[in-house]
Amino acid sequence: MNQRVKELVSLGRETLFKVSDTPGLDSEILLAEALGILRFDLLVAKNNIVDAETVAKFYRFIEKRKEGVPVAYIINKKDFFEDTFFVDERVLVPRPESEFVVTEAICHLKNYRKSPDVLDLCCGSGCVGLSILRVMNCNLTLSDISADALDVARKNASDLYQDKEKIRFIESDLFNRIKGRFDVITVNPPYLSRNDMCKYVYGPLKHEPEIALFGGESGVEITEKIIKQAPDFLNPEGVLIVELGYEGADKITSNSLVLQKIVNDYNGFKRVAVFNLRK
């Protein structure tokens, strides 16, 4: 039986209705990927007949999505800031909220006359640091405790930047193997508590690496450790920019850094904290 593009989109939407908050969008993205076209081209191609091989590929995608696998892992890509990043189950799927970390870093660095030094700690796919590099001519260090995550970050750096001389990669548990000082340190640390892990880690989240999610019993232990250690790695005018969990802004404290500001995300949550050195 011949199947048209519009019929497959409808079938995918109906199949994913109970397992996704965005079944129609998921179906369109997965079919576009199977067809090798942009999602926006589906409308033009809506009456086209789809060959059997592509239909089978689309069905495989839909089955994975039914199992809760995030769309980004199925198609191995996720748009973030100004680029499309490779992702798989070795790293977190980049979230739009993390773009606030990028914009805060750029805002701080935009008046620098020299090439600034930037450290992206807990870098995962590298999306935050590499997005800063997209706008700022900086010396970038990407660091993560996970060798697998760094492999993904290296791939993204290679895909997005042919000149990688200004990018260093360091496998490190937070600051343990970091040397030198930086003008900006960005970090999206694990910030889910034990209760959060039990309450929220299901569906798509269960496919994401636990090491990138679990932030300690209360969820802020790793964040607090970063804030405590960061002063030893900041230049005098440098800043630490940290992504926060939903309750993070109410729990973080520091004796050696000054909380410069809190930035709300698209939903009004306190999402990003910006610190500078205490004078």
Q: What is the pLDDT of residue 247?
A: 64
Q: What is the pLDDT of residue 203?
A: 61
Q: What is the pLDDT of residue 220?
A: 84
Q: How far apart are CA 91 and CA 148, in angstroms?
A: 8
Q: What is the pLDDT of residues 175-214, one digit of tens each?
A: 999 999 999 999 999 887 777 777 666 665 678 888 887 6
Judged by average pLDDT, the poorest of 1-5, 60-64, 148-152, 178-182 is 1-5
> What integer best gives the mean pLDDT of the chain?
91
Q: Which amino acid is at 45?
A: A
pTM tops 0.75: yes
Reported confidence tier of residue 2, pLDDT bands at 50, 70, 90: confident
253 pLDDT above the threshold of 70: no
Residue range 259-276: mean pLDDT, rounded: 92
Q: How far apart are CA 173 and CA 175, in angstroms?
A: 6
Residue range 113-136: mean pLDDT, rounded: 96
Q: What is the pLDDT of residues 127-179, one digit of tens each?
A: 999 999 999 999 999 999 999 999 999 999 999 997 767 799 999 999 999 99
Query: 10 Å Cβ neighbour count for 13?
Result: 18
Residue range 232-237: mean pLDDT, rounded: 95
Q: What is the pLDDT of residue 139?
A: 94
Torsion from C-alpha of 133, 137, 139, 141, nearest 10 degrees: -10
Q: What is the pLDDT of residues 68-107, one digit of tens each?
A: 999 999 999 999 999 999 999 999 999 999 999 999 999 9
Q: How far apart are CA 261 and CA 226, in angstroms?
A: 17
Q: What is the pLDDT of residue 131?
A: 98
User: Helix (H, G, I), strand (E, B), or coil: what is residue 193?
Assistant: coil
Reported confidence tier of residue 248, pLDDT bands at 50, 70, 90: low
Query: What stretches of the chain show up as alpha helix (H) in DSSP?
Result: 5-16, 23-35, 52-66, 71-75, 99-109, 127-135, 147-160, 194-200, 221-229
What would the DSSP string read from start to end of 43-76?
TTTTTPEEPHHHHHHHHHHHHHHHTT--HHHHHT
Q: What is the pLDDT of residue 184?
A: 98
240 pLDDT above the threshold of 70: yes
Higher pLDDT, 165 or 221: 221
For each of the domains in the chain, give its residue range(s) and CATH number, in order of start: 3-67 (1.10.8.10), 89-277 (3.40.50.150)
Higher pLDDT, 55 or 194: 55
99 CB contacts (<8 Å, ≥6 apart)?
Answer: 80, 81, 131
